[in-house]
Amino acid sequence: MLLRVMLEAPFRIIRRALPHMYAQAWGRVINISSVHGLRASPYKSAYVAAKHGLEGLSKVVALEGATRGVTSNCINPAYVRTPLVEHQIAAQAAAHGISEESVVNDLMLAQPALKRLIEPGEVAELAAYLCAPQASFITGTSLVIDGGWTTH
């Protein structure tokens, strides 16, 4: 199920949207990947596989769309403060018999140099920038917003 939602669904959406983007000679494909699209973590095989696949899909779209005015990129955040992550924090705390604060500090923030969750607005601002004229030469890349996780 995870692969269908995180890889197959973006593939199908992009496949339907590209002809319209090509017709107007302009388009922006922005995939929300993850730090796990670039790094693996134990016990996350389906998630990591889906995000690595999304990275590849985004690069293919960048190559195919380049001559037609379409860019394609991935945004790669670490843990973003969303309801899903808040639920994961509570579930991990219960599963391991530790506090939610310990889940955040000792598990989720173990890798990033900046010790905080990313706010959704930070991801949204990066996506908005990718749609701006100033970002027209950015394509086929992964923009990491991970607080320094991937610097290790």
Q: Which amino acids are annotated catalytic?
A: 47
The residue among 75, 44, 45, 56 whose CA lies nearest residue 11 is 56
> Is residue 101 packed enough to be buried (19+ CB in 10 Å), middle (13-18) or exposed (0-12)?
exposed
Query: What length is written for the chain?
Result: 152
Looking up tokens 């010790």 gives: 115
Q: 71 by DSSP, 3-state: which?
A: strand
Looking up tokens 């590209």 gives: 18
Region of 148 please: left (phi>0), alpha (psi -120 to 50) or beta. left
Write out the two tokens for 139.
């394509």
Write out the two tokens for 1.
């199920």
